[in-house]
Amino acid sequence: MTEKKEIILKGIAAAPGIAIGKAYVFKKELPSVELRALDESEVAGELERLDHALAKSEKELNKILVFAEQKVGEAKAKIFEAQVMVLQDAYLLGAIRKRIREEKKNVEYVVSDEIQKYANLMHAASNEYMHERAHEIEDLKNRIVRNLQQQKLLSKLDGSPIVIAHTLTPADTMILSRNNILAYGTDVGGVTSHAALISRALKIPAVVGAGSLGLTVATGDMLILDGYSGNIIVHPTEERIIEYQRKREHFSAFEAQLAVLKDFPAITLDGKSVELSANIELTEEIDYVVLQGSQGVGLYRTETLLLGRDDVPSEEEQYREYKIIADRIYPQRVIMRTFDVGGDKLIPDMAEEKNPFLGWRGIRMMLDYPEFFKTQLRAMLRASGKNNVAVMFPMISNVQEVRKAMACFNEAKNELRARGVRFDENIQVGVMIEVPAAALMSGIIAQEVKFLSIGSNDLTQYMLAVDRGNHFVSDLYHELEPSVLHTIKFVIENGHRKNVWVGVCGEMASNPLAVPVLVGLGVDELSVVPSMLPEIKKIIRSLHYAECQRLAQTVLHFSTVSEVEECLRDYVHQHCPDIPLAGNNNVI
């Protein structure tokens, strides 16, 4: 029998760890829904079926909630509370019942159609986080339909497999974890997904966004899943298995070393301090961020508050959420970014834009709706009572937008003063530098604010004219392109000339290869994926600032991204040989 050829698939590292074992391909069949006209005599029965399916779905989710609270804690288990709340949403259920009565259509069709409207709004957003939430809303829809059709889902697996799936919802992740799961690998998804968050909390290695795993992997195939680099190796050789067994032991010991650094600052060997903070979307992430030794939250994506709603959250609702985060991270600082979403989140019936990345989003949309904007600003100001909140405006293109946003901010302050509400009078305000025009004008913009935060994801896309979500051009997306590095250098220098600090909060900040050059360019703050905090801290504490400055000068003379990556890979491997690097055979 011919030995199968080893295949290496590349995904996104979502939860750290190395797993070696056999695959189980988890295929969740979507329920089939057909439109059926009802007779008047059938309507009452359909409404009764709806009530039974909702009750059963709620019971299932409450069971998962209890299990999740035991396994990952109450904070992270609130994900399932949110799904239960959707099941109890009076507006949604009222619309479903009304359509069944008036349109006389079967309950499966109406449930599917109504809930899919919410999911479609999220899919249409330019925000990857909203795309993740859309999958969860669709999963809730499918749960109700399956219960209407009295279908059952597989929840027990034989052995200790590595689960491979197209996508996994939080409920899938929790239910499957009852088995002795070694790891998870999915075709789609990102590190911001709730499923990835739960995997990290459960300490189950995970790789997401690996493409068409189902076309390459079959149940029973031998796999190595590397949650450090994002690699999934199919049909590994005996030599490769032995190699990864050693690496697994090595990284287990290395993680123990990283844990010791939790309470130490991110400071180079020659005394250059870098503020190391975390990016978050959910209040549930705060405990994990603190446990990882973060110096604060460098980017709180507030648009998650708009998730699954058909209305705008009130000032009081927003204030409560912001205060929870500010209180939990205290005495460290949290930088709250104002809503960075397209107009579809504020106006659900708005026509879909042809190119939402270049459209009506971020500060552009907020300035067109100043009362909505000021509601959020008042809520943020009210949450600043402990003097550990900063505010950041996204998608800035020019200084006029900054001045208009600051005018709204000052109006919000005056409105709170008139109400006798206290807040931090010295609260810092900054902007994100994501648009090349803003980067070019960063010296002028820096005069208007207290800090600049470089959003490397969008800046790279706009600099290179590449939509990384488009598979035809996504391979052209490289955050270490010389043009991007020169732009970052330009922004940092402009900020420092105006005595404002400059941070980086995109994926680049979490890339071990990029850290030495960012330090060398003089960045003051890095806001990273929470799971990467220990490794990035380890790298910074292994470097000399003076050497990093020389490295940055060397790299800026290169003309291609391949030259940059090769130089940085050698440098990081030399100074931090234990750090896992994607695509490197020596250090995973």
Spatial CA neighbour of 212 closest among 162, 165, 163: 165
From the candidates 408, 505, 567, 576, give the one annotated as an active-site residue: 505
DSSP E strands, 332-439: 333-337, 389-393, 428-433
* Residue that is written with structure tokens 């010991």 in the block: 253
Strands 525-528 and 501-504, bridge-based pairing? parallel
**Angle, helices 107-124/128-148, rounded to nearest 10 degrees:** 170
* C-alpha triplet 325, 81, 166: angle, nearest 5°: 100
Q: SS3 letters for 275-312? A: EEEEEECCHHHHHHHHHCCCCEEEEEEHHHHHCCCCCC
**Phi then psi for 47, rounded to 5 degrees?**
-65, -35
Whole-number Å distance between alpha carbons of 267 and 273: 4
Residue 505 catalytic? yes
Whole-number Å distance between alpha carbons of 456 and 301: 15
Whole-number Å distance between alpha carbons of 547 and 568: 13
Of how many residues is the chain composed?
588
Q: In what order do the strands lie in the sheet with 231-234?
A: 7-10, 231-234, 222-226, 18-26, 162-165, 183-186, 206-208, 12-15
Whole-number Å distance between alpha carbons of 380 and 319: 6
Whole-number Å distance between alpha carbons of 58 and 71: 20
Q: Which CA distances in Å does 34 have to 53, 112, 123, 563?
A: 17, 10, 23, 56
From the candidates 131, 194, 478, 544, give the one annotated as an active-site residue: 194
Which residues does the annotation mark as catalytic? 194, 505
